[in-house]
Amino acid sequence: MRGSRRRGLPVHSVPMPQPRPQPRSVGELFLDRVGRTPDALAFSYPEGSSWRKLTWAQTEARVRAVACGLRALGLQSEAVVAILSGTRIEWVLADFGILCAGGATSTIYPSSTADECTWILGDSAAAICFAENEEQVGKLLSRRADLPALQKIVVFDGSASPDGFVLPFSALEALGQAHDKARPGQFEEVCAAVEGDALATLIYTSGTTGRPKGVELTHACWVSQSAAIEECGILDHEEPSQLFWLPLAHSFGKMIGTAQLRIGFPTAIDGRVEKLVENLGRFRPTFVCAVPRIFEKVHAKVMLGGTEKGGPKAALFRWALQVGLTVSRKRREGEAAGALLEAQYLLADRLVFKKVRDLFGGRLKFFISGSAPLARDVAEFFDAMGIVILEGYGLTESSAATHCNLPWNRKLGTVGPPLPGAEVKLAADGEVLMRGPWIMRGYRGRPEATAEALDAEGWLHTGDVGVLDDQGRLAITDRKKDLIKTSGGKYVAPTELENLLKAASPLLSQVLIHGDQRNYVTALVTLDPEALQRLASQHRLGELSGEQAVAHLLVQQQVQRAVDQVNAALPRFAAIKRFRVLSREFSEAAGEVTPSAKLKRKAIEQRYRATLDALYP
């Protein structure tokens, strides 16, 4: 009878529920999540030898204290506050506190040198800097005279300085609690006053080709992107939960943090990479975000573990892997595997694959891979074992993700379809162009660089070369600036070759392909220390130092075998004609890789110029 208008009966109208106002800022997104699920688990984090938990209400209390503490220190709207720290719960609390206080967060990798820290703090005009410990504080104090805008350092693990310039994190929280008590309602007012177009995050690019540029991302960037992640349904599975260990200084880490606010899943947070396997078993997450370097290392370790002892066990592993690869390929191509092959796969799964999956906790639905291209051979290896890796794509300039494969719509070798609201097209030369509500507003203080990256129609020129399939899924082939043009006029995509070569042998750790304006392609190769020692042990060679390994015939033969395998599938102009094994891995400390493990090509080629020249007699 609801809604009846029969004569003589009173009409009862039920007011339509009003839609919840959409958050405009990260602060409002955070408070909306707290209001929806105050008692739900938000974070687990290590403290000493044990773990602690925070509900959303408890998280709000600490974020409120940080935000009010920053306002008590005189923080103004859109003033920049930097965070110089590894991934830990205090990083998250500081970030949310900055944003709720109306400030903007700038990020610095803890591996950055004093000069790099000074550059970012100076260019951003940061007023306050959170630092992880006394070591990080020392970097800043050593260059204090070069940082006139810096008013305060807040240290997570450390003590106050006699002059009050360094303040412990606990003291900031206490200051904020007193400030909040004396000014009831100010926290909510300040948070509500933040507009969507206000600066939220200032992330400096990794600087593979020179001084880092500050990428300005607004609150609207993160809010709209989090809505797109929710809308695409990638986390629509029962009780989603994640283990998070990635650097929060990277846009990939920032992206998943705002997605958590939108969707509400719990996160176990621990930036200690050496604890990753242990934590996977402890928390049994349903999804984990990672970078290709992790998958490459796991791939190498599983391959070594499966084959190092030889005999029947190695034969079983190779048989199982071949069965898995065959079934995986047929399933991807929509072919039936057949009863016999399916039965073989079930046996391979029980004897081999399940043991590998159990390393990840047993509840894992998928990994999400980003930050750099994932080698196809590595992706096929995991797919054969029933471990799903959803590769995605994006830039710092696009607030991280614009594309991602989905559990029900994935294709190996691609980064998937665009997220809802993102537009993509290819320029005439194949460069990927993107447009959408979470594209950066520009580079800080760099109008010319901004105009070069963002055209008049709002398209971001990514610098990546790609192709689109008939379903709109994007595949990245290489960086436009990294393409090699041989002296014969042929173009070679170095990243693709590097990934193929690393996947061809677990002994190989890093590869740099060289050959621009040369008459053939060559490679610099580094060795994985663990794989090298296993190889030495297998052949009773004892401990092999880097220099000994470089000269050893067995090592040269192993690398040559991998090169020959890759070359067999390449056109002659792209084949790797010569290589040189180096005595150590490329490192961030030596200025050869970025904090996200990307090769600094020009720096490496300059350092090894004589070695490369010798490959072209």
Determine, yes or no, domain membership for 343. no
Is-contact 105 248, C-beta < 8 A?
no
Determine, yes or no, domain membership for 351. no
Question: Measuring CA to CA, how many Å separate 282 from each of 40, 86, 110, 358, 405?
Answer: 19, 21, 26, 12, 27
| Helices (runs of H) and strands (runs of E) counted in the chain | 22, 25
Instruction: Dig out the tokens for 335 from the structure.
Output: 């072919």
Detail the DSSP E strand segments found in 398-483. 400-404, 423-426, 431-435, 442-443, 460-468, 474-479
Is-contact 554 610, C-beta < 8 A?
no
Orientation of helix 494-504 relative to helix 292-307, angle to 10°: 30
Is-contact 416 408, C-beta < 8 A?
no
Determine, yes or no, domain membership for 507. yes
Detail the DSSP E strand segments found in 100-226. 104-108, 128-133, 152-157, 166-168, 199-204, 214-218
Q: Is the dihedral of CA 609, 610, 611, 616 positive or negative?
A: positive
Instruction: Give the burial class of 122: count Cβ atoms within 10 A of its Cβ; 0-12 exposed, 13-18 middle, 19 or more buried.
Output: middle
Choose among 269, 294, 291, 292: nearest CA to 282: 269
User: What is the Cα–Cα distance from 188 to 370, expressed in whole angstroms?
Assistant: 35
pLDDT in tens, 15-37: 555 556 789 999 999 999 999 99
Place of tokens 């880097």: 546
Determine, yes or no, domain membership for 341. no
- pLDDT score of 2: 36
Is-contact 475 415, C-beta < 8 A?
yes
User: What is the Cα–Cα distance from 290 to 371, expressed in whole angstroms?
Assistant: 9
- pLDDT score of 104: 97
603 pLDDT exceeds 60? yes
3-state secondary structure of 122: helix
Q: What is the mean pLDDT of the chain?
A: 90
- pLDDT score of 19: 58
Is-contact 479 465, C-beta < 8 A?
yes
Phi-psi region of 103 (alpha: psi -120 to 50; beta: other; left: phi over 0): beta
Query: Across residues 602-611, what is the average pLDDT?
Result: 92
- pLDDT score of 66: 98
Domain extent for 490: 483-614
Which CATH number fits the domain that encloses residue 526? 3.30.300.30
For the chain, what's the residue count?
Answer: 617
pLDDT in tens, 131-178: 999 999 999 999 999 999 999 999 999 999 999 999 999 999 999 999
| pTM, entire model | 0.82
Determine, yes or no, domain membership for 43. no
Determine, yes or no, domain membership for 318. no
pLDDT in tens, 283-309: 999 999 998 888 888 888 888 888 777
Choose among 438, 616, 601, 588: nearest CA to 511: 601
| DSSP H or E segment with residue 493 | none
pLDDT in tens, 218-243: 999 999 999 999 999 999 999 999 99
pLDDT in tens, 580-595: 999 899 988 888 988 7
Domain count, the chain: 1
- pLDDT score of 20: 63
- pLDDT score of 1: 34
Determine, yes or no, domain membership for 254. no
Q: List alpha helices for 264-415, DSSP H.
A: 276-283, 292-307, 311-332, 339-348, 354-358, 376-384
Choose among 179, 115, 128, 180: nearest CA to 155: 128
pLDDT in tens, 373-415: 888 888 999 999 999 999 999 999 999 899 999 999 999 989 9
Instruction: Give the burial class of 365: count Cβ atoms within 10 A of its Cβ; 0-12 exposed, 13-18 middle, 19 or more buried.
Output: middle
Is-contact 281 361, C-beta < 8 A?
yes
Determine, yes or no, domain membership for 469. no
